[in-house]
Amino acid sequence: MAIEAAVDAGQRRVAGLQMLTLRYLDVIVAVIAAIAGIALGAPVLGCALGGGCWVLQRVVQAVDRTWARQMREPRAALGVSLFERFGRIWLLAGAIVVAGLAGGRQDGLAAALIIFCAYTVRFVIGLVSGPPPADPVATPPTAGPTVPPPTTRSES
């Protein structure tokens, strides 16, 4: 019994590590792509901005999702989530523009390619893993199927 529990705990730990790696694979890809790009001679500013802003937008996402889950008012949580999602898009677009203006077209292209690679990995993981599980705290319980009241015919 104790051995089975230990084996089960070890399997859960491995599964948890695999899920954590899969959840943040896009961040790993962005960092590795930036490092590899710099090592292969790509513009440093573009690679640093592309990889750094991808990591930053994922941190913003994690913080915002936690903050939105703690809100009591659904409208406020929706507003914060929408603001955060559009803000992250503008952050990434701004990184590409800043890299292009500050360093040149090659820097902008390097930033865009790193962001594109990380986004593609994130998109594919989202498609493969399916929709996120419902939050039991945020989702009101259902009362079950509703049955209409029985109708009676009046006989005249």
Which residue, chain included where needed, has tokens 């899920």? Answer: 19
> What is the largest distance, in Å, between two alpha-carbon atoms of the chain?
93
Number of CB atoms found within 10 A of residue 92's CB: 22
Query: Bigger pLDDT: 50 or 14?
Result: 50
pLDDT tens by residue, 36-46:
999 999 999 99
Number of CB atoms found within 10 A of residue 31's CB: 16
pLDDT tens by residue, 68-114:
888 888 888 888 888 889 999 999 999 999 999 999 999 999 999 99
The pTM (predicted TM-score) of the whole model is: 0.72
Whether 47 and 114 have beta carbons less than 8 Å apart is answered as yes
Q: How far is CA 41 from the centre of its chain?
A: 30
Distance CA 30, CA 123 (A): 14
Number of CB atoms found within 10 A of residue 118's CB: 28
